[in-house]
Structure 1
Amino acid sequence: MRLNYKLWLEEDERLFGDGPCQILELVDQLGSLRQAAAEINMSYSQAWKLIKKLEKRLGFKLLNKKVGGSSGGGSELTEKGRILTENFSEFRKEAAGCLSGLEKKYFNQEFKDKLK
């Protein structure tokens, strides 16, 4: 038995969570929305629609697109996109640590022994 959970930000409905954060982190690493989408087996068009939907709901751009050419195209996080992604990622790590501590406190061996 182990604790499982999902975290996301919402405003009337789910707004930003693990999936969008992962895509943006991959764009930051790879420099390309197309490569980031491929990395998680998502179509480019699906990823692009997700980013556009998020940008509309958040009220700011997440990505700057670089048009192709001799040096190739790509994407990079905007400053606000980077702040959102980094803060959500750090929050998620800290929350995981806190929840792990609570899991150990409440669902420890003593708890398991009581269920036997």
Structure 2
Amino acid sequence: MSNLFDDVPRTRPVEKIDVLLETPGVRLERIVSTGHVTPPGQWYDQGRDEWVVVLRGRARLRFEGEPEPRELGVGDHVLIPAHTRHRVEWTDPTTPTVWLALYYRPSDRA
């Protein structure tokens, strides 16, 4: 048995990403961020849908074309459709932010 809150580092130079499950169509990651952000000028533009939930801590996600970042706290989650440009603007520098990120094949859209 494993626990999502085991081995949560207080500080690290880079995010800690642990793959919890992976199949040809699905990938589930636990991500630990403490003050980590997406580098300036970089945007994520992934070929899979992504669902993220914050289990501990706080973060801000910015989506291209939106005037303000979205604030996420414990229990908040968001679905990011494939090829939706986004970035992590802020994570709490004093407390590790623990996320789950579920990546899966894009759903068919009309």
- Larger fraction in strand: 2
Select the structure of larger CA radius of gyration. 1
Report the structure, 1 or 2, having the larger helix content: 1
The two structures share one fold, judged by TM-score above 0.5:
no
Higher relative contact order (CA 8 A, sep 6+): 2
- TM bracket, shorter-chain basis: under 0.3
TM-score, normalised via structure 1 length? 0.25
